[in-house]
Structure 1
Amino acid sequence: MKITSIETFQGAIPLHTPFKTALRTVTVAETIIVKLTCEDGTVGWGEAPPTHVITGDSLASIQYAIHSIFKPLLIGESLSARERLFEKMEKSIVRNTSAKAAIDMALYDSIAQQANMPLHRFLGGFHESLETDYTVSVNRPEVMAQDARKYINDGFSVLKIKVGKDEIAEDIRRIQAIREEAGSDILIRLDANQGWKAKEAVRAIRKMEDLGLHIELIEQPVKAHDFEGLKTVTKNTETPIMADESVFSPHDAKQILEMGAADLINIKLMKAGGIHQAIKIAKLAHIYGVECMVGSMIETKIGITAAAHFAASQSNVTRYDFDAPLMLTGDLANGGITYNGRVIELGNEAGLGIKAIDERYIVET
């Protein structure tokens, strides 16, 4: 079945409250939506949010890559030769991973629909539902503790705490306040978003261990390029360390795994360039006996649905960070995954199960 058209739409949805990390503050979720149509009328959906400080992608660069690079390559091509499509797309432009991810999602959505299977089953079918954590934005300790209590009262049992923006002593006060509020039964994982240096990260983590704060894992404590620093932290602390921004590609994952630089890997479709490359990262990690998380940027339900279907298909993906749609004031997608508190149901619809987009959130350009 041949591809006949590729369209894009720019969307924007305000967040309930600002999302704050060591790298940025987000108040509106901006995104590019891809609609890929095949000659039999099958429609596949994809998404690419601009995350300048992580992927380097902007709204303009995403649009350019899709319309000027990928669209001429893919129009008229058959979905039955999908390996060739993904290879052509990967070789056509370096980086631009978010734009690649949006097209990749739409391709996989269309392919799974033609196979008449939900995408997670088409890819492997390991899980039928998932449980997401909820992110506590970096703020004053007392505010973060109040936020943590709210999310716990809403039914979330795993909290992802943003740190790394200020002095480490302040981060420790934040975690102490949250742990005191949360009690001992709630899992707490930290995300420093590259905010620490290796030696200070080791000191901080050891201090948290001595204080008995019981941190499940710490994500990306050092700069993305500092593989040796990441290894130093991993080898000198007991708390599991997760690589996030350090791993964009299978090549990055291979290097991290060979070095033993991290205990876990966070795979994001916007970093990997889509499901096709994300599967390679997961399989590499599986060979090394390393578990993975699948996370996301600030995305709408379109991108998170694709990420959730990928995550549910892989046996060594054991952690899920899919709370972004819950932070938004509206739902851009008709269909896709459904939330029951912290539980995400993937459903039985073919492909991603997305039927349409809500025009109220589309921005005229």
Structure 2
Amino acid sequence: MKITDVEIIPYRIPYHRVHRITTLTLSALDNVIVRLRTDDGVEGIGECVTEAKWNSTVMEAHAVILERYLAPAIVGADPFSIRSVWRRMDEAVNGQLPAKGAIDIALHDLIGKALGIPVWRYLGGSNEIPVAVEGPGYGIGFMEPASAVELALKGISAGCRQIEIKCGHPQGPRHDLAVIRAVHEACGPDVSLKIDCTEGYSFKDALKYLPLFAEANVEWVEQPLPRHELRSLAALRPLVPNKIALEESIGAPADILRVAEMGAADGIHVKLAMLGGVSKCMEIATICEAAGLSVLPGCSTASGIGLAAAHHFAASIDGARGTHASPLARAVDDLIVDPLPPYPAEVRLTDAPGLGVQVDWAKVAKYKV
């Protein structure tokens, strides 16, 4: 079997409302679909998530990288030889893990379809235990306490048991604390909170406010300090009662070793769409397990295609803690048939081959840009 064609499809799906966090403002899914075809007629689908705050590369740039450099490099390759495909991609372009990760996801989808089994099964996973969902959706963005409570209660009414709140508001940590306390009071003690500071705090503010957040049932704090301040993160961690997770500080598997050596985190938010797809994230999960770090699977804001890959990854590792679930929590539409509802309390994978999702190609054509 050989790869004969690689189709690159950038798309845009508007959000219900503008989503604001510390480092940027999002108003739409601006991603790129990768469609691999083979001489045996088997196809594979992947997705490249493009958020400038994370990887400094916008959708248009990813589309060019995939179309002009990566796609020609892998035509003729054996899709089952994933390492060989990665060598071809690395020789063509240095870095660019989100773009390469889209191809990697498509390879895993293709292999599963060729074998007639789901990705989670050939990765050695199980679908017996549902994947707990971090709800609602991708976290509550910057808003006033009353609006945050309204959104949190939608997730709770759907069965979510963990709520994520974006912190680092322009008005300062006091505003974050007011939102957190309001959500905690409304949701009750049985709902744990996770906050994502997105590099928005100073060491001094984190040291002062993270213990106050813990009193409002905030268990996990994601990326409280800027990504390069690992020494400060290592100093902060033993001084606060919360667990520290890192995302922006991680750009490759080797970064996990540095974080573990310094004791800078309790867990890593592992996003397939940002860190090189299934292959690289399975490597990261193995390193995390050896280093005693928890894995918080995720995908950033993807369609049901990219999210399906994140779900298969989460189902294939031990001790996965939560994951994103449905783009409909933010976006007005999805690209797959039978998408998940906006705020599912759990995700249970099926035995359908590959990623187990059916792409709605009429919607892909509708939102193509």
**Category of TM-score, reference length = shorter chain:** over 0.9
**Paired residue for 1:55?**
55
Task: Give 1:232's match in structure 2, choosing from 221, 225, 235.
Answer: 235
What is the TM-score when the length of structure 2 is the normalising length?
0.93
- Report if the CA contact (8 A) 1:282-1:317 is conserved: no
Give 1:304 deviation, angstroms: 0.4
Task: Give 1:176's match in structure 2, choosing from 173, 181, 195.
Answer: 181
**Paired residue for 2:226?**
223
Give 1:259 deviation, angstroms: 1.0
The alignment status of 1:258 with 2:254, answered yes or no, reads: no
**Paired residue for 1:161?**
165
Separation in 1 of the partners of 2:232 and 2:23? 19
For 2:97, give the aligned amino acid.
Answer: T
- Report if the CA contact (8 A) 1:338-1:346 is conserved: no
**Paired residue for 2:92?**
92
Could you tell which deviates more after superposition, 2-11 or 329-338? Answer: 329-338
**Paired residue for 1:19?**
19
Give 1:357 deviation, angstroms: 3.0
Give 1:15 deviation, angstroms: 1.9
The alignment status of 1:205 with 2:210, answered yes or no, reads: yes
- Report if the CA contact (8 A) 1:119-1:351 is conserved: yes
Taking only aligned residues, the RMSD between alpha carbons, in angstroms, comes to 1.9
Separation in 2 of the partners of 1:147 and 1:338? 15
The alignment status of 1:354 with 2:357, answered yes or no, reads: yes
For 2:266, give the aligned amino acid.
Answer: D
Gaps of 5+ in 1: none
Give 1:207 deviation, angstroms: 2.7
Q: How does 1:1-365 map onto structure 2 within 5 Å?
A: 1-128=1-128, 129-134=130-135, 135-166=139-170, 167-209=172-214, 212-334=215-337, 341-362=344-365, 363=367, 365=369
- Report if the CA contact (8 A) 2:285-2:295 is conserved: yes
Give the fraction of aligned pairs with identical amino acids, expressed as a percent: 26
Separation in 2 of the partners of 1:119 and 1:66? 23
For 2:133, give the aligned amino acid.
Answer: T
Number of residue pairs the alignment of both structures matches:
363
Could you tell which deviates more after superposition, 278-287 or 73-82? Answer: 73-82
Separation in 1 of the partners of 2:319 and 2:260? 14
Give 1:81 deviation, angstroms: 2.0
- Report if the CA contact (8 A) 1:301-1:325 is conserved: no
- Report if the CA contact (8 A) 1:335-1:356 is conserved: no
Separation in 2 of the partners of 1:190 and 1:108? 32
Q: Secondary structure at 1:79's aligned position in 2?
A: coil
Gaps of 5+ in 2: none
Separation in 2 of the partners of 1:74 and 1:155? 43
- Report if the CA contact (8 A) 1:6-1:34 is conserved: yes
- Report if the CA contact (8 A) 2:326-2:343 is conserved: no
- Report if the CA contact (8 A) 1:331-1:358 is conserved: no
Give 1:239 deviation, angstroms: 0.8
- Report if the CA contact (8 A) 1:157-1:187 is conserved: yes
Separation in 2 of the partners of 1:17 and 1:97? 29
Separation in 2 of the partners of 1:347 and 1:23? 36
What is the TM-score when the length of structure 1 is the normalising length?
0.94
Listed one character per residue, the Cα deviations across residues 193-235 of structure 1 (whole Å, up to 9, x for unaligned) are 11101221111112334xx212111000011111112212212
Give 1:88 deviation, angstroms: 2.8
For 1:57, give the aligned amino acid.
Answer: T
Q: Secondary structure at 2:315's aligned position in 1?
A: helix
Q: Secondary structure at 1:7's aligned position in 2?
A: strand
